[in-house]
A and B are shown apart, each in its own frame.
Chain A
Amino acid sequence: MYLNQFLFLAAFLFCVGVYGVLARKNGVLVLMSVELILNAVNVNLVAFGAFHNTVVGQVFALFVIAIAAAEVGVGLAIVLLIYRNKHSIDLSEVDIMKG
């Protein structure tokens, strides 16, 4: 088994995710990109777990998935509230926390 293939896949996903988080304006797409980053990590975890022949990686991945679900729930709720207040989910317009 070649670990490299999985690591490349994960690195690619990670980069796509980082690009999405940093560059997209749409709040929902930013959240989706965050999910991509998390899944990149999951791929890594499962791959290393399989490589070392343990289930720890998979267990950890399951944890990440569960927590990601909760996180995205909160995130979407925030996006929804932003939409209600601003009638837009453009993140560049949301800067009321400006110091």
Chain B
Amino acid sequence: MLENAWIIPALPVTSFFLILFFGKRLPGKGHELGIAAVGIAFILSCVCVSQWVAKPADYHPPAAHEASATTGEASAAPEGGEEEGIRQPVVHEVTWFETGDTTVKVGTHMDGLAVMLVFTVTLISLLVHIFSTNYMHGDRRYTHFFAALSLFTAGMLIMVTSSTTLLLLVGWEMMGLCSFMLIGHWWEEQKNSDAALKAFFTTRTGDIGLLVGLSILFVAAGNTFEISTINSKALSGDIAHGVVLAAAAALLCAVIGKSAQFPLHTWLPDAMAGPTPVSALIHAATMVVAGVYLVARLYGVFWSGFSIANGTVNPLAAVGGITIIIAALLAFVQSDIKKVLAYSTVSQLGYMVMALGVGAWTAGIFHLFTHAMFKGLLFLGAGSVSHAVHSFDMKKDMGGLKKHMPVTFWTFVIGSLALAGIPPLAGFWSKDEILVGASENGYKFFLIVGLVGAFMTACYMTRCVYLTFFGEYRGHGHPHESPIAITAPLVVLGVMAVVAGWVNFPAHAAEWFGKWTENEVFAVAGVQSHKFAPGLAFAGFLMGVGGIAAGWAYYARNWGPHRLTERSKPALRGYVFLENKYYLDYIETDLVVGSIKGPIARGAYWINQQILDAVVNGAATVSRAVARFTYDYIDQKGVDGIVNGAGVGAEEGGSVLRVLQTGRVQQYAAFLFGGVVLLGGALILFA
């Protein structure tokens, strides 16, 4: 199955077209096709996982060039007596086209990272499909919704299985398009189509970086799109450091756009305008993790470009760290349950990016894996709640739902605890690994950022759970538990949110996840995977519990300084500052776009009128003189003479030949036979 992994993305592509053309005629309006395709893809990806795990770890990639070994003693090249290798990636490629001496190939490159993501994506997508059959029931574009879901899944699968950056770009753009279609699914409302456009344009801004970065890498690596070649050349020092740095910086722009990092994170909360299952899919398994995946996949470029091994501040870690804190702060002031989760996603993506930035590769993608499980769960839970109360506003329409919706409540709590990092749930293990990585690679500052982030995460999730499920019901009507199509995915993800962290259980000879996902870059660059550190784990746990306790005390027990915003000016300012999302939207739309429209445009106009026009006018005067001369002598006399001569010649010749064009077929045939006779005669005479 690893050889033929192309089947997995091919399935949802097929179902996309089938749903589009035949979906409306089917009894289920197309959802059966989508579920079948993604379901089969999920089974196949399970096969992939089992085959990958069964693969012997006996591959030793060629050792790194001396150049990369000198990137610092801190990186500590792997010890000589390494007993175990890694699993060799399974590559299956065909030639797409050749131009000149460049051969462009497409194919699949299955390694631990790809297998893990294929499994995650198909699992989440399958559950989202099932969830949607009920959640979207009776929607006016039900069939199109499922078609777009299929294409979205296909885009992500193409991207993660791709062996070349070209195909990776294709998958990336497919997701950009599908997110636009799905966020704007209810485009009749202006707000929704605005959100879709915002998501599209904001990620597009980053995508410019992707194009630039991939182009740089294509040329620098010797006209190849092969990801493994690019990685190994970036690591071995075949590509100049400056070039790798430029490429990494350009790719970072793409990551910031797609993975909603500061300062381009603003599109993601707005993307909540889409249907809830879409939010779950976008935020858990696809789209936003695409950026993180890009870093993980081209880690050789980032590793040597940003000199991650050196243990100093680098752009990747900085972006991640800033994002963790600012997004977590924003999550406190939201009253829309989905927006709390959206900012939480932004913050957690910050963790992943920071983890990759501090050299904790395994931790970063492990967090990606566990986060997909519990964030998918939380979004679907939010969908289930809103299905019951027909609103997303926690303050106005929710509260006290604990007794009305027990299944949703318990799964949501499990997801929240996993997110808050309470052992033994999934989030605890992955978050702890990030902290260990940051501390051991010498990124002390980011360790503190991570711990503060953990505290804040626990705190805002407590607020969210309290406002939604505890207290008195504040909405209208009688909320009731959602049907099985909605609760079943919740239960599955709830189980996953509990057990997903155990695959990297830090026992002797365990830590399977780390071993399964080790890839060439990992081995060549000497990226270290870190041992479980009980002290830090306890610190992380304390932060989680402390956050929950603080949140509970403040929101449920009403302890602490309430109504601070009414009594203290600075607090109020801070609150307003947060409520306006750091004015980033204004900065982006009014300041950046506005300044381009306003002063810069006016300035450009002035320069245009005063300076450019003078130059242009001067040039025009000179060129008019030259032109007059050219016109009078060269053009009129010389060129025109030739042209007119040709015209007259053609006209004269035409009127002579015109006589031959009688329009009668038989005369033409006579000419034809005459010509043949002449040719035949010539052949006999002269040959």
Rounded to whole Å, the gap between the CB of A27 and the closest CB of chain B is 9
Nearest residue (CB) in B for A37 is B673
Name A40-99 residues within 8 Å CB distance of B. 91-92, 94-99
Flag if B669 contacts A98 (CB, 8 Å). no
Flag if A91 contacts B666 (CB, 8 Å). yes
Chain B hits for A96, CB < 8 A: 663
**With A and B bound together, what is the CA distance between A91 and B670 in angstroms?**
14
Name B374-410 residues within 8 Å CB distance of A. none
Chain B hits for A30, CB < 8 A: 665-666
B649-672 vs A, Cβ < 8 Å mask (1 yes, 0 no):
000000001101111111001100
Flag if A94 contacts B664 (CB, 8 Å). yes
Flag if B662 contacts A95 (CB, 8 Å). yes
Nearest residue (CB) in B for A92 is B664
A22 contacts chain B at the CB level, 8 A cutoff: yes
**With A and B bound together, what is the CA distance between A23 and B665 in angstroms?**
11
Flag if B666 contacts A98 (CB, 8 Å). no
Flag if B673 contacts A99 (CB, 8 Å). no
Nearest residue (CB) in A for B655 is A99
B500-537 vs A, Cβ < 8 Å mask (1 yes, 0 no):
00000000000000000000000000000000000000
Chain A hits for B670, CB < 8 A: 22
Contact-residue size bin, chain A (C-beta under 8 Å from the other chain): 10 to 19
Q: Which of B657, B665, B673 contacts A91 (CB 8 A)?
A: B665
A10 contacts chain B at the CB level, 8 A cutoff: no
Q: Which of B657, B663, B669 contacts A97 (CB 8 A)?
A: B663
**With A and B bound together, what is the CA distance between A22 and B662 in angstroms?**
14
**With A and B bound together, what is the CA distance between A30 and B664 in angstroms?**
13
Q: Pick the most buried of A18, A30, A99: most chain B CB atoms within 10 A of its CB.
A: A99
Name B408-448 residues within 8 Å CB distance of A. none
Flag if B665 contacts A98 (CB, 8 Å). no
Chain B hits for A92, CB < 8 A: 664, 666
Q: Which of B661, B663, B666 contacts A22 (CB 8 A)?
A: B666
Given contacts A21-B666, A30-B666, A91-B666, contact A97 B673 (CB under 8 A): no
Flag if B664 contacts A22 (CB, 8 Å). no
Rounded to whole Å, the gap between the CB of B502 and the closest CB of chain A is 71
**With A and B bound together, what is the CA distance between A21 and B666 in angstroms?**
7
**With A and B bound together, what is the CA distance between A23 and B670 in angstroms?**
10
Chain B hits for A18, CB < 8 A: 673
**With A and B bound together, what is the CA distance between A95 and B662 in angstroms?**
7
Chain B hits for A22, CB < 8 A: 666, 669-670, 673
Rounded to whole Å, the gap between the CB of A98 and the closest CB of chain B is 3
**With A and B bound together, what is the CA distance between A44 and B660 in angstroms?**
33
**With A and B bound together, what is the CA distance between A94 and B673 in angstroms?**
20
**With A and B bound together, what is the CA distance between A96 and B673 in angstroms?**
22
Chain B hits for A98, CB < 8 A: 661-664
**With A and B bound together, what is the CA distance between A24 and B669 in angstroms?**
12
Flag if B664 contacts A99 (CB, 8 Å). no
Q: Which of B660, B661, B669 contacts A21 (CB 8 A)?
A: B669
Given contacts A18-B673, A22-B673, contact A97 B661 (CB under 8 A): yes
Chain A hits for B673, CB < 8 A: 18, 21-22
**With A and B bound together, what is the CA distance between A22 and B668 in angstroms?**
9
Rounded to whole Å, the gap between the CB of B488 and the closest CB of chain A is 61
Rounded to whole Å, the gap between the CB of B262 and the closest CB of chain A is 68
Chain B hits for A91, CB < 8 A: 664-666
Q: Which of B663, B665, B666, B669 contacts A99 (CB 8 A)?
A: B663
**With A and B bound together, what is the CA distance between A39 and B581 in angstroms?**
86
**With A and B bound together, what is the CA distance between A97 and B665 in angstroms?**
9
Nearest residue (CB) in A for B664 is A95
Chain B hits for A94, CB < 8 A: 663-665
Rounded to whole Å, the gap between the CB of B49 and the closest CB of chain A is 56
**With A and B bound together, what is the CA distance between A96 and B665 in angstroms?**
11
Chain A hits for B664, CB < 8 A: 91-92, 94-95, 98
Rounded to whole Å, the gap between the CB of A10 and the closest CB of chain B is 15
Chain B hits for A95, CB < 8 A: 662-664
Rounded to whole Å, the gap between the CB of B301 and the closest CB of chain A is 59
Rounded to whole Å, the gap between the CB of B425 and the closest CB of chain A is 74
Rounded to whole Å, the gap between the CB of B679 and the closest CB of chain A is 15
**With A and B bound together, what is the CA distance between A23 and B664 in angstroms?**
12
Nearest residue (CB) in A for B660 is A99
Chain B hits for A21, CB < 8 A: 666, 669, 673
Rounded to whole Å, the gap between the CB of A91 and the closest CB of chain B is 6
Chain A hits for B669, CB < 8 A: 21-22
Rounded to whole Å, the gap between the CB of B668 and the closest CB of chain A is 9
Rounded to whole Å, the gap between the CB of B661 and the closest CB of chain A is 3
**With A and B bound together, what is the CA distance between A99 and B656 in angstroms?**
11
**With A and B bound together, what is the CA distance between A92 and B664 in angstroms?**
6
Chain A hits for B660, CB < 8 A: 99
In the assembled complex, 6 residue pairs joining A and B whose CB atoms fall closer than 8 Å, in A order, are: A18-B673, A21-B669, A21-B673, A94-B664, A95-B664, A99-B658
A-B pairs with lowest CB-CB distance, top 9 = A99-B661, A98-B663, A95-B663, A97-B663, A99-B658, A95-B664, A21-B669, A22-B670, A91-B665
Besides the known contacts A21-B669, A92-B666, A99-B660, 6 further A-B residue pairs in the complex with CB atoms under 8 A apart? A21-B673, A22-B669, A23-B666, A95-B662, A98-B662, A98-B663
